[in-house]
Chains A and B, each alone.
Chain A
Amino acid sequence: MGRCSLLFLLAVALAGLACAERDIVEPIESPPLGQLATYAEQTSPAARIRPRTWGRDKGRFGYACFESTLLPNGNYRYRTIPLSFSPTSIPQSGAVARFRYRERGENGVVQRLANCEIPLSQHAYDRMLARYAPERLGSDLLRVDTSSLELGLMMIPCEELPEDPELAEQCVCAETNNCFDLPPIENCGSSTSPEPCDPPDDDWPLPDDPPDDGDGGSPPGSGPGDDPCVDCDTGPDPCFGCDPNAYVTLTCSATTRGSHTLCQMNLVGQAQLTLGTWSFSGGPGTKTGGWSWSGMAVTGGKVRHDFVQFNGSPYWTQGTLSVSRRNWRWSSAQWQFGSGQGNCLGNVPAEVGNVWGRNHYSENCANSSIYPAAGSKSGYALSQVSVGPNSGLWYVSSVSLQMRRKSSIHPALSGGGDLYEVRDPLQASKCRSALGVTGYPRVTWYDYNMRCEGISQSVLTNMHLTVIDHEAYGGLNGPTGHQTQIEKGAATIGGDAWYAVEGLVAESSTDLHNDVTAELRKVDTTLAYAADPNHTVVLSSRKFSAWFWTWGLNKFVRQEVWL
């Protein structure tokens, strides 16, 4: 229990590590077809998490022996020997069995040791006997023979564990690298241990480091010059699949979003395979058959082809589709500003402390900027990809969004706005004299200052222009205005509505409209605060002295105001 629990925890932990690393290394080419058991495990997503060769891929990626052989210098040579079995040797259930072999020399030293995973079938068993112990050909499947320490042969389908607890332990033990009471594998791979390293995956031979003799499953004693097909099973096409160096590649041409891509699968070497289904990791598109898949590309991901090997085992290869952004950036050509054209201050009196100007959305009094408004489903166009790896996906095919702002300036500054009834005797007297009226004069803020108090028109005009510039591009009142700041924000990619929608892709137009709306709303928020509403950059830097209405006193009071 403890061992299995530890293995499970190890698998989970390694799974996490594998995922954490996957964004760095992703194989594009597939393993040699003749070495699938080794290479597929190395490169398939499961490779790094699996503590041994069996698991979810039973019967899928092929079979192998892990073998150690004593060399004349006393060290052991380790190798992974891929095995090929014809479809007739492989049960439909995909069940596998362990085949263990050990050979001792006269001095009791292990000369050769193998730990194999093979299909659970008489045919496969006979083949392994032919390979390792031809003198025992004819023995039955499931035969367990541990009577001789000099030659141990075991063929146990672990689903049918022996009654003998000791043998049962051996069966499980075979899966944990410690069968036959051999020493623990702390020296595994160190060349001094005979244990053939039913190995941790990381220690497996690299794909470009094939088994020493490259025999691809040839029988003992066969050398590099032997017919590579001699060990092939007898099937209708005994030589297909025996090319240990055969492999497939899948490559996709890198492209820009909205442009064409071609994904091509290639077979290098000799192998027989049946083309299957193309699919894409980030979308619903599929295609059956063919060596290529092409069409408009709108988003990157993995393009995969599932096919069937010569031996009937399913296999897959995949390549990366890289899609780069279109150069979608908006610029000043898309930014409009209507200075002083708004009416979004409300009816506020001309008092010190009230708002004299405001920079806001062109269409209403909101703080947003993007035109047409987010949520209107306009200002951009959506299209759906019809063929190719990205088929079925929707993307933003064009954009015409703008940033539109305007400013509202207090009407009092230009002579409009409310009329104030002047009842203060002294002030009323000044106005009656200046305006030639009787009773309580009713005057605008502008007229009171200029005509009743004699404030210079140039001062009032400067006040007006200062507020205009404050909401626009600065100038009279300092280095910058709110419109300057928001355009600075719009010039960054964080405030760029075009940039924000360029890469959006979804499986339905509804989802994509929602995504576009959400992104634009975020850009709207970003721009609103890029405008510096809290005046950290856009400062009030000019001081004016004028008369301002004060409701509590119901009269004008001369005050200084920073604009």
Chain B
Amino acid sequence: MTNFLRFSRAGLTAALIAIVPALPACGQESVDVLGAADLLERFKSSNFQIAQEARQAIRGIARSDARGPRADTLVAGLSRLADDPESSAWHAHAIGVLVEFAASGRPGMEATLIRLADVSEPSRMMLLNMVDRLEASPAVVNFLVRTAVSESRLAPDALYALARTGEKGQAALRRLHADGSVSSPVARSELVRMAKRDFKPDRPPERP
């Protein structure tokens, strides 16, 4: 009985102690204390300021706790958003935020992002734009090559993204230049131009 009671009291105290460290966050700026569901709702807001604050809060979570339970909920919710272009004007922006989770080391994001990028052309452009936050894995390079070969409007952006991803992307550009598989006339002429620079990016990559 005694041991049981001691355990109970200690357990309750430990539970409270476990809860309490999370509480100071409740006193911070309001958007910081919102749950994942509320952040997702704000993310979809037509009020840009609200949406932007939510995006930044989510990015903060991605940086600080990319593998935590709140991140799980956010990634799942953002993936649903990105998967349904009709659901929100922000569906492409959902990919932009999901990239932050990938950049913070959350596993399994790469395949998710590439799958979601195929949902719409804006989604693909968002991933092309954000791709240098990702590691230049074979899957990422393949996505860029595929876009450069098969897309018309986005093909130049895909080529520039390949140049920004470093040596692997530049090697892929050389192959594209050699095999002539790029169909977009603009992209073909850009490949010729880029070859003169040895496929280096026009500007230094932003990754430090």
Interface assignment of B125: CB less than 8 Å from any CB of chain A: yes
Q: A494-B48, A525-B96 are in contact. Are A50 and B29 (CB under 8 A)?
A: no
A-B contact count (CB 8 A): 187
Chain A's nearest CB lies how many Å from the CB of B196? 13
The reply to whether B48 and A492 form a contact with Cβ atoms under 8 Å apart is: yes
In the complex, the answer to whether B156 meets A374 with C-beta atoms within 8 Å is no
Tell me whether A123 is interfacial, beta carbon within 8 Å: no
**Given A12-B19, A18-B23, A302-B27, A367 and B5 contact (CB-CB distance below 8 Å):** no
> A101-109, A389-397, A510-518: which lies at the B interface?
A510-518
Contacts of A169 in B (CB 8 A): 5
- Do the beta carbons of A375 and B49 come within 8 Å of each other? no
Mark interface residues in B10-36 (1 if CB within 8 Å of A CB, else 0).
011101110110111111111111110
Residue from B32, B92, B202 in contact with A364 in the complex, judged by beta carbons closer than 8 Å: B202
In the bound complex, how far is the Cα of B164 from the Cα of A348, in angstroms? Answer: 27
Give the residue name and chain of the A residue nearest to B9 (CB).
A158
Binds A, one of B71-79, B108-116, B172-180, B185-193: B185-193
- Bitwise, A341-383 to B at CB < 8 A (1) or not (0) is 0001111100000000010000111111000111111000000
Chain B residues lying within 8 Å of A513, measured Cβ to Cβ, are 206, 208
Contact A365 B16 (CB under 8 A): no
In the complex, the answer to whether B202 meets A363 with C-beta atoms within 8 Å is: yes
Once bound together, how far apart are the Cα atoms of A313 and B133, in whole Å?
Answer: 48
B186 cross-chain contacts in A, Cβ below 8 A: 344-346, 358, 365
CB neighbours (8 Å) of A522 from chain B are 93, 96, 126, 129-130
Are A8 and B206 in contact, with the CB atoms below 8 A?
Answer: no
Are A348 and B185 in touch, CB under 8 angstroms? Answer: yes
A19 touches B33 (CB 8 A): yes
With A56-B17, A281-B27: A510-B5 Cβ-Cβ less than 8 Å = no
Contact of A45 among B8, B13, B27 (CB under 8 A): B27
- Counting chain B CB atoms within 10 Å of each CB, the highest count among A20, A347, A365 belongs to A365
| A363 proximity list for chain B (CB < 8 A) | 202
Give chain A residues whose Cβ lies under 8 Å from the Cβ of B19. 11-12, 15, 49
* Contact B190–A172 (Cβ < 8 Å): no
Contact for A514 among B25, B133, B187, CB less than 8 A = B133
Contact of B26 among A19, A344, A366, A367 (CB under 8 A): A19
Closest chain A residue, CB of each to CB of B186: A346
How many residues of A are in contact with the other chain, CB < 8 A? 77
Nearest chain A CB to B67 CB, angstrom units: 19
Tell whether, in the assembled complex, residue A22 and residue B188 are in contact, meaning their CB atoms are under 8 Å apart: no
Which chain A residues lie closer than 8 Å to B12 at the CB level? 4, 7-8, 11
Interface size bucket, B side? 35 or more
B202/A346 in contact, CB under 8 A: no
B38 to chain A, nearest CB (A): 8
Nearest residue (CB) in A for B194 is A364
A70 to chain B, nearest CB (A): 31
Docked CA distance A372–B206 (Å): 13
Judged by a CB distance under 8 angstroms, whether B83 is at the interface is: no
Considering the complex, give the chain B residue whose CB is closest to the CB of A375: B206
B154 within 8 A of A: yes
- The answer to the question of A26 belonging to the interface, with a C-beta cut-off of 8 Å to chain B, is yes
Task: Report the bound CA distance from A525 to B91 in whole Å.
Answer: 12
Interface residues of A in 144-203 (CB under 8 A from B): 158-159, 161, 163, 165, 168-169, 171-172, 175
Q: Which residues of A contact B20 (CB under 8 A)?
A: 45-46, 55-56
Complex: how many Å from CA A281 to CA B32?
11
Closest to A349 in B: B185
A416 → chain B closest CB, angstroms: 15
Taking the nearest CB of chain B, how far is it from the CB of A154, in angstroms? 16
Assess whether B16 is in contact with A11, with CB atoms less than 8 Å apart: yes
Task: Give the complex CA separation of A49 and B203 in angstroms.
Answer: 53
A-B contact list, 6 entries, CB within 8 Å: A4-B12, A18-B26, A19-B22, A168-B1, A282-B28, A518-B133
Chain B residues within 8 Å of A, Cβ to Cβ = 1-2, 4-6, 8-9, 11-13, 15-17, 19-20, 22-35, 38, 48-49, 51-52, 56, 59, 63, 92-93, 96, 99-100, 122, 125-126, 129-130, 132-133, 153-154, 156-157, 160, 164, 184-190, 202-206, 208
**Across the A-B interface, the 7 shortest Cβ-Cβ residue pairs:** A346-B185, A23-B30, A375-B206, A22-B26, A45-B23, A521-B129, A4-B8
